[in-house]
Amino acid sequence: MASGTGLSAVTIGTILECVFYGAYVVLFVLYLVLQRRNNRGFDQPLTLAHILLFVLCTITFFLDIPSGYMLLVPDARGAPDTARKLTLGSVSVFAIIDFLAQMILLYRCWIIWGKRWVVVIIPGSLALLTLGGGFALAGLFNSPLWGTNPAKVDHLFILTGTATNSVSLTVNALTTLLIVTRIVLTSREIRSALGSNSHHSLRIATALLIESGLLILAFQLVYVILFGQDSFNIISAPTPQIYGITPTLLNIRVAMGAAYDKTTGKTRTLRFAHSDRATTHVTGPSMSAAGVQSRDINIEVDDVPNSEGAADDAV
């Protein structure tokens, strides 16, 4: 039977998961509405990835709720075995959620770095290792040692889980670092070309918070620290929903034309474009062309009708 601390953690974790899942449902519907408004079909790879991510997070939610009940009411008929089977399913699905969320963020990283594969090779390879480790972790729930030596299974579970989640944390840290670096470098280009103001600084702060995957990184750091402890359920239950919310928030900003590689207003949009030329040209309805020294970024500001003219490579 779980300790008092463990039961409290299960209760708090379940409540948090319900709250975050509700928020995720709202954000996911908003994302689909924006995709439809922007005349983007639901059959595009990125949209399909988001739909799959939402389905997987929903499955995890409906596996976690009865599993939590079984932990809170261990005297229920067949509770221990049923809870273990539900946890097996939840861990298996979470391994895919983790990998899929990382791929969406890595895709975004690849886009803003000018589609350079070298940037995402290392974190992408580590993400594959994480997926394998997640399935290995799930496999421990089917181990025959559960009936003869559960203490050994618990020990292996903690070791495997800590290693797998540490690698996953490394992937998210690398991805976040790459995105943050690109945002900072690009903000300098924009500031030197268009000047700086408080609105620009706020956009940078918002971009760093939402577009870099910092939310996932923060939750996963706590996830790794608490792994195997009685209070682990407080963070483990809502984490899959955070993995769904973070990339969805990012692509909502992209669909609204508010992502950092795009400044949408009544008259102009800003977008990334790779260029071999040594200058960045900035044009606008009320300014003449100006040359800004740049090594590998071409920043163009054009007239667009708000967010309707979203560039294809910004999704």
| Nearest-angstrom CA–CA distance, 251 and 253 | 5
Determine the Cα angle at 26 with ends 31 and 88, to 5°: 100
What would the two tokens of residue 24 be? 């995720």
What lies within 8 Å, CB to CB, of 262 at 6+ separation is 254, 269, 270, 271, 310, 311, 314
Alpha carbon separation from 17 to 11, 71, 73, 287 (Å, rounded): 10, 16, 19, 50
Of the candidates 235, 225, 228, 226, the one whose C-alpha atom is nearest the C-alpha of residue 64 is: 235
pLDDT in tens, 137-179: 888 877 777 667 778 888 888 899 899 999 999 999 999 899 8
Which of residues 179 and 54 earns the better pLDDT score?
Answer: 54
pLDDT in tens, 177-215: 998 888 788 777 766 666 655 555 556 666 666 667 888
Q: What is the DSSP secondary structure assignment for residue 303, as one 8-state letter?
A: -
Instruction: Please state, in angstroms and rounded to a whole number, the distance separating the CA atoms of residues 208 and 289.
Output: 29
